[in-house]
Amino acid sequence: MDIFSRRLTSSFLFFLFLSFTEAKEILVGGKTDAWKIPSSESDSLNRWAEKSRFRIGDSLVWKYDGGKDSVLQVTKEAYASCNTSNSIAEYKDGNTKVKLDRSGPFYFISGAKGHCEQGQKLHVVVLSQKHRYTGISPAPSPAEIEGPAIAPTSSAAGLKAGFLVTLGIVVLGLF
């Protein structure tokens, strides 16, 4: 292989690596009007979160009417009981962005009276650094909180990581 091909291959691999590791802004629920009382259990934001993968450095973004609602970041206990009186953080601007700065669970509820009790809440689990390149998440511990469990799911990240490993082996085999 000539030097040009090696540099091109190295640049391509570096670009692939960066595309898998950069933090993302994730619109809560995947749409602008998702922060609302769900019409059914299958419409809950926790169902959406079960299918998503959150990594350290990602940011959750909420779009909502700041005059009528708010987003409260709360403890696990406040999440389970819908206690709005002692939040970790309160956001009311209608265009809220929260950076996920550590691995583990994050809990959010609506600050509008009665909305949390009707299901307007969100529980996300951020993967640890050691789980960054796999598409497999650990099974949740049983009955950590009341409500739907976070089920492990597969994602495109596992396929991308497998592709990257295979590509790396092929490229190294050429040298």
Higher pLDDT, 131 or 111: 111
pTM over 0.85: no
**pLDDT, tens only, 135-171:** 444 455 444 444 444 444 444 555 455 555 555 555 5
Confidence (pLDDT) at 160: 58
Distances (CA, A) of 88 to 30, 40, 91, 98: 24, 28, 10, 12
**pLDDT, tens only, 93-108:** 999 999 999 999 999 9
**pLDDT, tens only, 22-45:** 789 999 999 999 999 999 988 899
Superfamily of domain covering 20-127: Cupredoxins -  blue copper proteins (2.60.40.420)
The pair of structure tokens assigned to 106 is 């994050």
AA identity, residue 21? T
**pLDDT, tens only, 48-76:** 999 999 999 999 999 999 999 999 999 99
Confidence (pLDDT) at 29: 95
63, 98 in Cβ contact below 8 A? no
Q: Return the bridge partners of 105, or none.
A: 125
32, 63 in Cβ contact below 8 A? yes
Q: Is the dihedral of CA 62, 73, 97, 41 positive or negative?
A: negative
Beta pairing class for 121-127 and 54-55: parallel
